[in-house]
C-alpha cells in the first residue's frame, strides 16, 4: 500500500472542501485557532509514518484525552470502574444531563463529559498526583518529553465551564463523585488542555493498534484484553451522538475532540490522527471525518 | 486454529452456566421453546464449519431477520433510505416510542423495531411480493430451499403485537410510513417468523464476512461498500441498548433476536451463530453472548 | 353585574383581534369550518344567559367531551378509576406517548388523549351501550334532545387517527386497556364528534357551577365532592400543556377542544362557553382564551 | 362557621394518623426536627384566627419562601420575568434538570428550584441588598419584627446543595443566570432558611386572600391582578409533581416546603398554615395535606 500517495490524493481532494461548520466559541482560547488548519499523520505498525499539511502543529486535544485517562483508570481502578460508568453509546449530546437523571448518576460511557469526570474522580482517588502522572504517561507512549498542558486553555475552560460544573455537582448529589468537585474539575480541565500534534497523537495511539505495546520500546502498557475493550468503546462511543455515522462511514474505532482533532486506529495496521478545526453540529471535525472516510475507501481497508 | 477443539471447550464450560434470564412470554409461540436448548455453528471463510449441541435445530430468528431486510432495502431503496432511518445507536429499549417523538418519527437505526418497520414499508413500496422475495433471497444465500416462515408464529405475534401496531401508527401519523399499517405489520411479522438453524444462519451471514459474496457460488449479492456499512451498523446497533456491552465483551459485529439466536461476523474469517433461548433483561440471549465472548477470548481474534 | 354590556365590549374589542393561529388540518372535517366564526354564551346561576355572535351555532366539541365521559366514569367506575389514570398536569402535548413510556401506561390525567381513551375503556366495560348512554346524559344536562353525534366527523377522525390508534395499542401492550382497541377508538371518536353550540355547552356545564345539579330541574347528577374534584382537574389539566397559562390569565377551571371551543366555570356564579376555530400552537383557541381573559378582567371575578 | 370546633376535630382525628413518610436527610439541620410536631393556624378575613398544636413554633419554611420572592420579583421585575421563567406545571420532581435541557434553560415555573433560582437572580439584579429587603418585606406583611433567617440551616444547605449548584450552573451555561452563581445560591439558601411559625405564615399569606393588602394595616403590597396570578400559579404549581393531587383533594391554591410546612389560601375567606415534618415521596407533608383536605371537606368550602 502506498500510503503517501493516498494521503496526497486526500489532501488535494479536500483542499477546497467546504466543511461548513464552525470553531467552538464557548472556549475562548479555542475560538482563536485559524479555521483553515488541516493536517494528518498516519503511523504504521512497521514504524513508518506518512502525513500532509499541518501534521506537526500543536493543537488542543480536548476530549481525545479521555482515552488516555480511561486507559489509566483501567490500570489503577480495575473492573470496579464499570460500576460507576457504563459502556453503552449515548443517544444524547456530549454534555447532556438528561441521561444522568434517568440513570441515577451513572454516565452512559467514559467518553461523554459526565463519564470522563467520573474517570477523573477515580484517578484522583487512586493516584497521588494525577496531573503529573497523566502527563508522564502521555510523554512515554508518545516518546516525546516536550508534550505539555496549556495552562491558558485550562484556565479559559475553568472560567466558562458552567455545564461541567453542573455535571460534576449533579453526580455528586447522586453519590457518583467521591472527591471535591473543584478538584475533579481542575484535573479534567487540565487533561483537556493537553497540546499535541497529529504526529504525536498517532504515535501515542499506536498502543491501541499494537495490543497495548509502545511501538518504539516494546513496553506493554495495557493488557491485550483492555486494548481490545478500549477500542470497542471507541468504536461505539467515540463520537458523541455521531458514533454510528463515523462507524458507518469510516469503519474504525476512534475518538474526536472539540479542538478539531480525530484519532482512529486500525488494529494491527496503523493509527491515524487528523486535524481541522471546523466542527459540525454534533461537535466533530467535519473535514477530519471526510479525510478518514476517504482513507478507508481508498485503502479498501476497514475493520469490517 | 483448531476451532472444533475451542468449541468443545465452550460447550463443556457453559454446560451448567446459569443464564438466569427467561424465555419471552409476550409471544406465546416462543414461550413454548425448551429453555435448555443450546447450539452453535461456526462457518469459515474456507468453507469448513464447526459446531456443537442443537446447531442444526430450527428456531425463530426474529430480529435477526432485520439484517436481511436491510440488505434488500439497500439494494432496492438505495441511499434514500437514510432519509427515513438513521444509523445511530439507540440508548432506549428495542420497542421504545420515546425516541420517535423526540426525533419526528425518524427511527434511530434500522435494527430497532421502529426502524425495521420503516424498512418493511420501503420493501413493500419497492417489491411486488416482498414476502416471496425475502424468502427466496434467504434461501439463496443459505443455499437451502427448505427454509420457511412459521405461520403460527406470525399469527401469534399479530395477535399480541400491540406495541408494534402502536409504533407503525405513530410513524404513520408523522408521515414516515407510506403504505397501509396492516400491510407493513403483516410483512414485518412474517419476516420475524423465519425459522432457521444455527447452521443455516451462519451460512447466510457469510455474505457479510465475505465482502458481499455467497461463499458456495461466488455470486456477489451486496456491494463491498454496503457490506462494510451493514457490518458497521451491526457493530453499533445490533444489540438494542446492549450494543456497547456486546462490542466490549465480544468485539464483533452481530445481531440478536428474541428467539434466543445471535449471529456474529468476523470479516475475512468466519461467521458464527449461537442459540440459547433464555434472554437477559435487555432481550439478548445471555448464554449466547457468553459463548461468543469465550470464542473471541479463546481464539484471541476480534476485529479490535 | 351587567354581563351583557361586558360581553358587548369583548365582542367589539376582539372583532379585529388577529388570533394568528390555524384551523387543525389533521381532521379534514374540521378544516372546513370558517376561521372567522366567533361566539360566546354565559349562563348564570340565576338562569339568565347572555351572549354574542355565533353563540347558537353547532360546532364539534372534541376534547370538551372528555369532561362528560369523566363525569360518567366517576359515577360508574368509582374511585378505582384513579388506579388507571392520574390527576397530575402533563408537561407534554395532548397526544404525547413519552409520558406513558416513563410511567408504565398510566396516563397523567383524564384530559389528555391517553387518559380519555382509558376513561372510554372503563365506560365500555361498565355500560351496555356507552354511545347511547353518553348522548342521553348530555341531552339531559343540556335539556336539549336535538344534540347529536356527527357521524362524518367521527368517520373522518377514524380515517386519520393514527396517533390515537398508537396510544390505545401502546397502553394495551402495557395492560391498561381491557377492551378491544377498535371498540375503544370507535367510542372515543364518537364522543369527540358531539356537536353543540356555545349555548348548549354553557347550559350543560352549569352542573359544575351548581354543585352537580341540573339548573332547570334541580336533579343532582354528580355528588358535590365529585363536582369539586372535576373542577380541580379542569383547573390543573384542562388545557394540555397550557393549563398554567390559562389558570394564570383567566383564573377559572375550564376545558378546551380542537374544534375551537372552550368552556369555563365559575362555581356558584356562572358557566361560559366560547367558540373561535383558530388554534394556537398548543392546540387551544387563541381568541377564545383572550375573550375569557377579558371576561374575568372586566368582571373582576375569578376564583382567585 | 365554627372554625375552632372544626380544627379540634381535625387535630383529634389526625392524632394517630400514620403519615408514613420521613424527614428529609439531605439537609442535616432539618433531619434534627422531631417528626411528631403538628400544628395549624387559620387566619380569617375578619382578623380572627384559630389553631391547634405546635402552631406557634418556628420551623424552616424552605420552598414556601418562593412565593415571597416571586411577589417581590413581580414588583421589581415586572412582566419581563415571564421571559425567563414559565408558568406551566412541571411533571418532574422539584429539582429536575431534565426539563431545563428540553426547554433551553427556561424553568417550567417559579416554584420549582430552577425557577426560584432565576427569581433570585432577578432580585439580585434589581435590589441593592436582596437579603435585607426580603426579610423586611416578610416582617412587614407578617407584622412581626422577630422573624429571621437561620444561618445554620443556610450554611447546612450550602454545604450539601450539589443539586442546586448544578441547576444554577446549568442555567448559566444556557444564559438564563446573569449574576455570579455563588451569589445566586447564597441568596437562595438564605431565603429558604427563613424560620416562621404557622401563625406568622398564615398572617403573611393573608395578602393573597385579601387582594394584595396587608390585613392589619390595609397597605396594598401587590396589585389585585398580581395577587390573582400568584394564586393561580400556586394552584397549578405549588406542590411539585403533586400539584394535581393537592388541587384534587384540597381545592385551594397553596405552597409546600420540605420543612414540612404548607400554606393555603381561600381568597376572600382565610389563609391557613399547617406543619408536620414527615414528607411523602413527592416531598410534601403528608399529614399537612390530610389536615387541609379535612378542612375543606368539613367546612364544605373550596374555590371549586
Give bridge partners of residue B220 from the DSSP assignment: B213
pLDDT at position A226 is 93
Q: What is the pLDDT of residue B94?
A: 58
- Three-state SS for chain C is CCHHHHHHHHHHHCCCCCCCCECCCCCHHHHCCCCCCCEEEEEECCCCEEEEECCCCCEECHHHHHHHHHHHHHHHHHHHHHHCCCCCCCCCCCCCCHHHHHCCCCCCCCCCHHHHHHHHHHHHHHCCCHHHHHHHHHHHHHCCCCCECCHHHHHHHHHHCHHHHHHHHHHHHCCCCCCCHHHHHHHHHHHHCCEECHHHHHHHHHHHHCCCECCCCCCECCCHHHHHHHHHHHHHHCCHHHHHHHHHHCCCCEEECCCCEEEEEECCCEEEEEECCCECCCCCEHHHHHHHHHHHHHHCCCCC
Instruction: Name the grid cell of D58.
Output: 418556628
Superfamily classification of domain D3-299: DD-peptidase/beta-lactamase superfamily (3.40.710.10)
Pairs of residues, one from chain C and one from chain D, whose beta carbons lie less than 8 Å apart: 111
* Cell output for D219: 397597605
Pick A275 or C97 by higher pLDDT.
A275
Residue A271 is classified by DSSP as E
8 Å CB contact of A97 and D173: no
- What is the per-residue pLDDT for C300? 84
- Please list the pLDDT of chain A residue by residue as tens digits (304 residues): 799 999 999 999 999 888 778 888 878 888 899 999 999 999 999 999 999 999 999 999 999 999 999 999 998 888 889 999 999 887 666 566 767 776 788 999 999 999 999 999 999 999 999 999 999 999 999 999 999 999 999 999 888 899 999 999 999 999 999 999 999 999 999 999 999 999 999 999 999 999 999 998 999 999 999 999 999 999 999 998 888 999 999 999 999 999 999 999 999 999 999 999 999 988 999 999 999 999 999 998 888 8
Contact A247 B227 (CB under 8 A): no
Assess whether D271 carries a catalytic annotation. Answer: no
Q: With a CB-CB cutoff of 8 Å, which residues 93-122 of chain A face chain B?
A: 99, 108-109
Q: Are D231 and D71 in contact (CB under 8 A)?
A: no
User: What kind of fold does domain C63-192 have according to CATH?
Assistant: Beta-lactamase (3.40.710)
Residue C253: list chain D partners with CB under 8 A: 304
Nearest to B91 among A91, A227, A231 (CB): A91
Assess whether pLDDT exceeds 90 at residue D268: yes
| Minimum distance, in Å, between the CA of residue C171 and any CA atom of chain B | 8
How many CA atoms within 13 Å lie on the side-chain side of A62? 26
Alpha-carbon gap, residue A152 to A155, rounded angstroms: 5
Largest CA distance in chain C: 54
Does pLDDT of C192 surpass 80? yes
Q: Which residues contact C279 (CB under 8 A, 6 or more apart)?
A: C21, C22, C23, C24, C258, C260, C285, C286
The verdict on whether residue A242 carries a ligand-binding annotation is no
Sequential DSSP letters for chain B = --HHHHHHHHHHHTTT-----B--SSSHHHHTS-TT--EEEEEETTS-EEEEESTTS-EE-GGGHHHHHHHHHHHHHGGGGGGTS--S--SS-TT-SHHHHHTTT--S-TTSHHHHHHHHHHHHHH-SSHHHHHHHHHHHHHT-TT-B--HHHHHHHHHH-HHHHHHHHHHHHTT---S-HHHHHHHHHHHHT-EE-HHHHHHHTHHHHTTTB-TTT--B-S-HHHHHHHHHHHHHHTTGGGHHHHHHHT-S-EEE-TTSEEEEEETTTEEEEEE---B-TTSSBHHHHHHHHHHHHHH-----
Burial of B157 (0-12, 13-18, 19+ CB in 10 A): buried
Beta bridge partners of C256: C262
Q: In sequence order, what are the beta bridge partners of C43? A: C49, C271
Q: Report residue D129 as a C-alpha cell.
A: 441588598
Give the ipTM of the model, two decimals please: 0.90
- Name the phi and psi angles at D294, rounded to 5: -60, -40
Read off the C-alpha cell for A227.
486494548
Taken as a whole, chain B contains a residue count of 304
Count of CB atoms within 10 A of residue A250's CB?
Answer: 25
> pLDDT tens digit string along C246-301?
999 999 999 999 999 999 999 999 999 999 999 998 899 999 999 999 999 999 88
Q: Which of B98, B166, B173 sits opposite C169 (nearest CB)?
A: B166
Q: State the pLDDT at residue B122.
A: 97
Cβ atoms of A239 and A256 closer than 8 Å: yes
In this prediction, residues D216-245 reach a mean pLDDT of: 92
- pLDDT value at position A95? 62
Rounded to a whole number, what is the distance in Å from the CA of A114 to chain D's nearest CA? Answer: 13
- The whole-angstrom separation of Cα D139 and Cα D204 is 8
CATH code given to domain C3-60+197-299: 3.40.710.10
Predicted pLDDT of residue A140: 97
Confidence of residue D286 (pLDDT cuts 50, 70, 90): very high
Q: Does C236 contact D243 at a Cβ distance shorter than 8 Å?
A: yes
The pLDDT of residue A93 is 64
CA–CA distances in Å: residue C238 to residues A217, C7, C133, C151, C247? 72, 23, 24, 26, 9
Residue D51 among known ligand-binding residues = no
Mean pLDDT score of chain C, rounded to an integer? 93
Give percent of chain C above pLDDT 90: 79
The average confidence (pLDDT) of chain A is 93
Mean of pLDDT values over C196-208 = 98
pLDDT of amino acid B159: 85
What is d(CA B117, CA C97) in angstroms, rounded to the nearest whole number?
18
The residue among A265, A212, A270, A274 whose CA lies nearest residue A46 is: A270
- pLDDT of res. B289: 96
Best mutation site among C110, C247, C253, C264 for testing chain D: the one with the most D CBs within 10 Å? C247
A181 vs D166: CB contact, 8 Å cut-off?
A: no
CB contact under 8 A, B248 and A231: no
Q: Does A177 touch chain B (CB under 8 A)?
A: no
Query: Which residues does chain A have within 8 Å of residue B241's beta carbon, measured at their own beta carbons?
Result: 88
Q: Which of A70, A43, A24 is nearest to A233 (CA)?
A: A70
Residue D83 is given by DSSP the state G
C-alpha distance from residue B23 to each of B53, B245, B277 (Å): 19, 21, 6
- Spell out the domain ranges in chain C: 3-60+197-299, 63-192
Set of chain A residues whose Cβ sits within 8 Å of the Cβ of D166:
97, 165-167, 169-170, 173
- Mean pLDDT over the full length of chain D: 93
DSSP-assigned letters across all residues of A104-135:
TT--S-TTSHHHHHHHHHHHHHH-SSHHHHHH
Q: What is the mean pLDDT of residues D237-241?
A: 88
Q: What is the DSSP string of B153-195?
A: HHHHHHHH-HHHHHHHHHHHHTT---S-HHHHHHHHHHHHT-E
Report the distance separating Cα A191 and Cα A175, nearest Å. 23
**DSSP annotation of D47:** S
CA–CA min distance C150, chain D (Å): 32
Query: Is residue C188 within 8 Å of C157, Cβ to Cβ?
Result: no
d(CA B97, CA B228): 29
Q: What is the pLDDT of residues C55-66, one digit of tens each?
A: 999 999 999 999
DSSP-based three-state secondary structure for A197: coil
Is-contact C69 C89, C-beta < 8 A? no
Q: How many Å lie between the alpha carbon of D181 and the closest alpha carbon of chain A?
A: 9
User: What architecture is the A3-298 domain classified under in CATH?
Assistant: 3-Layer(aba) Sandwich (3.40)
Low-confidence stretches of chain B (pLDDT beneath 50): none
Residue C71, pLDDT score: 97
pLDDT score recorded for residue C92: 67
A 130-169 → D contacts, CB under 8 A = 162-163, 165-167, 169
Amino acid at each position: 500500500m502506498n500510503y503517501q500517495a493516498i494521503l496526497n490524493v486526500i489532501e488535494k481532494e479536500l483542499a477546497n472542501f467546504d466543511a461548513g461548520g464552525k470553531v467552538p466559541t464557548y472556549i475562548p482560547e479555542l475560538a482563536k485557532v485559524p479555521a483553515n488548519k488541516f493536517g494528518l499523520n498516519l503511523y504504521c505498525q512497521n514504524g513508518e509514518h506518512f502525513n500532509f499539511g499541518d501534521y506537526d502543529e500543536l493543537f488542543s486535544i480536548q476530549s481525545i484525552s479521555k482515552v488516555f485517562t480511561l486507559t489509566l483508570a483501567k490500570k489503577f481502578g480495575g473492573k470496579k470502574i464499570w460500576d460507576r460508568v457504563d459502556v453503552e453509546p449515548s443517544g444524547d449530546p456530549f454534555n447532556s444531563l438528561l441521561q444522568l437523571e434517568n440513570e441515577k448518576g451513572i454516565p452512559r460511557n467514559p467518553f461523554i463529559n459526565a463519564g470522563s469526570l467520573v474517570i477523573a474522580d477515580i484517578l484522583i482517588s487512586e493516584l497521588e498526583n494525577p496531573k503529573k502522572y497523566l502527563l508522564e504517561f502521555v510523554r512515554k507512549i508518545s516518546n516525546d518529553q516536550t508534550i505539555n498542558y496549556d495552562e491558558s486553555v485550562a484556565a479559559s475552560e475553568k472560567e466558562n465551564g458552567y455545564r461541567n460544573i453542573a455535571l460534576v455537582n449533579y453526580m455528586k448529589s447522586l453519590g457518583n463523585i467521591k472527591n471535591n468537585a473543584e478538584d475533579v474539575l481542575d484535573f479534567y480541565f487540565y487533561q483537556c488542555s493537553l497540546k499535541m500534534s497529529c504526529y504525536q497523537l498517532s504515535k501515542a495511539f499506536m498502543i491501541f493498534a499494537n495490543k497495548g505495546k509502545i511501538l518504539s520500546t516494546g513496553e506493554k502498557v495495557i493488557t491485550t484484553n483492555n486494548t481490545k475493550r478500549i477500542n470497542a468503546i471507541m468504536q461505539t462511543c467515540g463520537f458523541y451522538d455521531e458514533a454510528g455515522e463515523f462507524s458507518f462511514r469510516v469503519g474504525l474505532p476512534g475518538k474526536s475532540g472539540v479542538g478539531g482533532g480525530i484519532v482512529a486506529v486500525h488494529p494491527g495496521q496503523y493509527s491515524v490522527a487528523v486535524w481541522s478545526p471546523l466542527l459540525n453540529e454534533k461537535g466533530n471535525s467535519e473535514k477530519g471525518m471526510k479525510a478518514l472516510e476517504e482513507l478507508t475507501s481508498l485503502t479498501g481497508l476497514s475493520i469490517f
